[in-house]
Amino acid sequence: MQPIIDRWDRTGSFMDIKKRLKALLQEAEIYRSQGLIVEAHGKYKDASSLVTSIANLKNKESLLKAIQDKIEALNSTKKKVEKGPTSPELSKKAQDLIKNLFVFSENKDDDTAALEGAVALAKFGQFDRALKDLEPLLLKEGVKVEAAKNILRCHLTAGSAQEAIDQYRLWHTDERFQSGHIEQIRVYLDDALQKKGVTVSLPKPVSSADTLGIEDNVAPKPDEAEEEFLDITSIGITFDSGPRVGKMVEFDVNFQSGNMLSLIISKQDQGMIEDLKAGLELKDIQFYSPIAIFNGTGVVSSKTKIKSGPKQGDYCLDIRIKST
């Protein structure tokens, strides 16, 4: 496709068209790689319309066919997703075993243990069961915000940005959430969507102070908010050994429960984390959150190969934050 595009570099207007088309195709590929089929389909259609609008373009038909092939491949993927479960389910016994093995908190209460168990299921691709177990936690004051964020993480990790957006819009008017809680959830989702290249306007919470002209007593107090761990969307690890010694590598955080971060590492990148073994202290981590970037330390809690589900063959790396 590149040689076809390069033939447009004869005038400034053709250069502009080239840039627009490249941008559309790049955006489509980003969406496709993230499993955002509908969004990728839209970008490819836009690219096709742009090519169609150009008169006397050499090899127009070849270019249109190449784009159409991409669209048909997406349609094929969409049919497969709709036909079968997006996340092959393990037996209930196997799911319960995962919940019991990957609960980290010490002196945990029942709600925290339930949250961590649900997050463990999500990490191993058991999204249906995880969503089912997270839903009741939206009624539990101490964990409702974390439960909500992890519900959104399930949708995003499964490749459904639209489901996450729709879910947030339902919560926006949900009486179970205080306005301060909704704002925390909105900030998290907005940042997560931006990292995926998705731009959308999420409705902001309306506090009682705005609507009634009185002090908003339902929003969390500043000191209460400070006690919570910030949402970490990605981390940068500087390696002490191996082929990347002295270099920082950034990893996305797929799930979070308090100070425990879970990263899903592709099997293609297995060599990158070979030296990151359970118990290893990481002395120089850069943490990225929607509102700040800061340094701290952590320890590798576990590294597990995923043996079933959509992430089969990949690795789940759990890192516990020690200090920031």
Could you tell me the CATH number of the domain that includes residue 281? 2.40.10.220
Residue 152 is predicted with a pLDDT of: 94
DSSP state of 268: G
Residue 169 is predicted with a pLDDT of: 92
Domain-ending residue, one of 166, 197, 225: 225
Choose between 38 and 228: higher pLDDT: 38
Mean pLDDT of the 32-54 span? 79
Q: Which of 78-82, 286-290, 317-321 has the lowest mean pLDDT?
A: 78-82
Residue 189 is predicted with a pLDDT of: 93
pLDDT digits (tens, 9 = 90+) for 161-186: 889 999 999 998 888 898 899 999 99
| Confidence class for position 147, pLDDT limits 50, 70, 90 | very high
Residue 26 is predicted with a pLDDT of: 78
Q: Is 77 in the same domain as 96?
A: no
Residue 223 is predicted with a pLDDT of: 37
Residue 271 is predicted with a pLDDT of: 82
Q: Is 203 in the same domain as 317?
A: no
How much of the chain exceeds pLDDT 90, in percent? Answer: 17
Choose between 294 and 18: higher pLDDT: 294
Listing DSSP states for 254-265 in one string gives: -EEETTEEEEEE
Q: What is the spatial distance between Cα 36 and Cα 34, in angstroms, rounded to a whole number? A: 6
Domain-ending residue, one of 59, 83, 107: 83
pLDDT digits (tens, 9 = 90+) for 107-129: 467 888 889 888 888 888 888 88
Residue 174's contacts (CB-CB under 8 Å, 6 or more residues apart) are: none
Position 209 pLDDT exceeds 50? no
Mean pLDDT of the 147-167 span? 90
Domain that holds residue 269: 234-323
Mean pLDDT of the 254-269 span? 87
Q: Is 204 in the same domain as 101?
A: yes
Q: Is 216 in the same domain as 296?
A: no
Position 138 pLDDT exceeds 90? yes
Q: Is 116 in the same domain as 208?
A: yes
Position 273 pLDDT exceeds 60? yes
Q: Is 141 in the same domain as 179?
A: yes
Mean pLDDT of the 241-268 span? 84
Mean pLDDT of the 177-196 span? 90
Residue 207's contacts (CB-CB under 8 Å, 6 or more residues apart) are: 179, 180, 216, 218, 219
Q: Is 104 in the same domain as 221?
A: yes
Residue 69 is predicted with a pLDDT of: 82
Domain count, the chain: 3
Mean pLDDT of the 179-204 span? 89
Q: Is 219 in the same domain as 98?
A: yes
Position 225 pLDDT exceeds 50? no
Q: Is 190 in the same domain as 305?
A: no
Q: Sheet holding 255-257: strands in order across? A: 248-252, 234-238, 281-288, 293-305, 315-323, 260-265, 255-257
Domain-ending residue, one of 83, 118, 136: 83
| Backbone phi, psi, residue 115, to 5° | -65, -50
Q: Is 114 in the same domain as 218?
A: yes
Position 263 pLDDT exceeds 70? yes
Q: Is 274 in the same domain as 202?
A: no
Mean pLDDT of the 270-275 span? 84
Q: Which of 29-43, 111-125, 178-192, 303-317 has the lowest mean pLDDT?
A: 29-43
- Average predicted confidence (pLDDT) for the chain: 77
Position 150 pLDDT exceeds 90? yes
Position 103 pLDDT exceeds 60? no
Retrieve residue 202's tokens: 């999420």
Strand (E) or helix (H) holding 319: strand 315-323
Helix axes 12-33, 37-52, angle to 10 degrees: 160
Q: Is 209 in the same domain as 241?
A: no
